[in-house]
Amino acid sequence: MGKKGKRKLRISVQLEEDLVDKIDVLAEKYNMTRSHLMRNMLKMGYDDAQLLENVGVLPAFHFGMNVIERFKKALKEGKVEVKDGRVDFPVN
């Protein structure tokens, strides 16, 4: 068990090589291991996500991403047309 009796789990993630290089530079700069720095970054990211969720930003972002994905799909399927910077939603 880790500090304060919290058990640490080993997980595996895949990252682009250039991101790992950047993480390693930061870890070395602050005399930390890559694992320690990444754990801290994940904790900060989680805390930020919780704050954004609590004020409604994260759900709005998630909704927006869903709209964009559906729009892309409709565009690929020919259900939506974009002409001269305008979007045309044909009515069937």
Percentage, residues of the chain above pLDDT 70? 93
69 has pLDDT over 80? yes
pLDDT, tens digit (0-9, with 9 covering 90-100), for 15-26: 999 999 999 999
Identify the pLDDT of residue 86.
87
- Please state whether 17 falls in left (phi above 0), alpha (psi between -120 and 50) or beta: alpha
Average pLDDT over residues 49-62: 91
User: Tokens 């890559």 correspond to what residue?
Assistant: 34
Identify the pLDDT of residue 30.
97
Average pLDDT over residues 53-61: 91
